[in-house]
Structure 1
Amino acid sequence: MEVSLHRRRTALVLSAAIAAAAPLLTACGSEAHPGAAAVVGGQRITVAQLEGRVNEVREAQRAAVPDETQYQQVLASTGSLTRDTLHNMVLDRVLHRAAQDEGIAVSRKEVLQMRAGLEQQAGGAKGLQTTWLQKYGIAPERLDDNLRLQLEAQKLAAKLGTDTSQPAFWKALSKASGELHIDLNPRYGSWDVQKSSRVDAGTPWVHEVTTTARQQPA
């Protein structure tokens, strides 16, 4: 499905952040938090919560691609889904903190308005869900949450007199990252405060195969 210029402008901060990740490391001490994939602002993102999010995406992918050969191709092309999902879960909290610091809030009405506009461009609700799943790894049940995140990003950039691609925006996210004292479990890499992005720790033993295999239907 072709994505319109407007949609490309409104999404996705998350994908841009993943692509911008550089191989820099920060200290990780998540061994002190058993069962945690990350600790953000003193709040745990548990491994179970992370796996639940990944399962949502895999189930949606399976429903959208019933052909086994094609589904295996999807799995192969999204092998970093677990780590990318954790990145998004952490960045969601970082962006929300940065928005709060600037007194920014997003209403349910604004989310629905944005969704209605995107659905119109995508040819309906199903088309929008399919696009967000295929391009951004967002499960249908998380679509509204993601749109809220996009609106927070837009409002934050506007408040700062910039846009989401500029240093001023990412400086605000870096400040929020520092305030939240983000600590990733080393198996998922580490968090680069300056870039507000997850980075790999260069550990070849980290694989997504086990998680992926568990999600496939019997």
Structure 2
Amino acid sequence: MHRRRRTALVLSAAIVAAAPLLTACGNDAHPGAAAVVGDQRITVAQLETRVNEVRRAQRAAVPDETQYEQVVASTSSLTRDTLHNMVLDRVLHRAAQDQGITVTRKEIQEMRTGLVQQAGSSAALETAWLQKYGVAPERLDENLRLQVEARKLAQKLGTDTSQPAFWKALSTASGELHVDLNPRYGSWDVQKSSRVDAKTPWVREVTTSGTQQTAA
């Protein structure tokens, strides 16, 4: 549907007047929640855990204090982007479920093997995913599951992840789940399955790469 910009898993979005913004959470109905997606709560503590995982990995990869500060500055939207990823993961999973799609451990491993071959080693792949996409090493397989799921959903729909049919499926799933975002992290655009202030990209770039590697 629309062009993606930079990082992994997060769909770029612009505010569209016709697109309904969902009710903010983190209020009396959802105390302590960063977001509510269907019947699942993403707590602020869970979000902070994810962000801390990335920061620890960045710190380990960049021991120089000045360079680390530069990395932190360049990823200043990490908390919001991480929450968006967590929400979008659930939206995509619902869209895949609606189409009867499942992902096996073997499929994830096949994608990882192809990407490791391209990167040169598991460590190099983990570093690349951390630097390019803000994915901590311990979350890499979860991220690859998302890529496989997106690819299979697009194939089932007879399209690819850049086309309207794919994003329409995510929009439908987003509406079904009634995504409820804490206002401190932005508002959710149900038609685009995205945070309305999101400035970072999403799965298309990674899925395309993963598809190529799997087929190689």
TM-score under structure 1 length normalisation: 0.83
Higher helix proportion:
1
Query: Which amino acid in the other structure matches residue 14 of structure 1?
Result: L
For residues 184-199 of structure 1, the aligned pairs below 5 Å read 184-199=181-196
Deviant stretches of 4+, over 6 Å: none
> The residue matched to 1:38 in structure 2 has which SS?
strand
SS of residue paired to 2:103: coil
Whole-angstrom CA distance in 1 between matches of 2:84 and 2:56: 20
2:52 match: 55
| Structure 1 partner of 2:208 | none
Instruction: Structure 2 unaligned segments of length 5 or more: list them.
Output: 1-6, 199-216
Opposite residue 136 of structure 2, the aligned amino acid is: A
Supply the distance in 2 between the matched residues of 1:199 and 1:128 (Cα, whole angstroms): 30
Cross-structure match for 2:68:
71
Give the aligned partner of residue 21 of structure 1. Answer: 13
- Check conservation: 1:13, 1:153, Cα contact below 8 A: no
Unpaired runs of 5+ in structure 1? 1-11, 202-218
Q: Could you tell me how far apart the structure 2 residues matched to 1:185 and 1:22 are?
A: 19
CA distance in 2, matches of 1:95, 1:14: 10
1:173 is the counterpart of 2:170? yes
**Residue identity in the other structure for 1:26:** L
Corresponding residue for residue 161 of structure 1: 158
- In the superposition, the TM-score normalised over structure 2's length comes to 0.84
Preserved CA contact (<8 Å) 2:8 2:134: no
Work out the number of aligned pairs and report it.
187
Q: RMSD of aligned C-alpha atoms?
A: 1.4
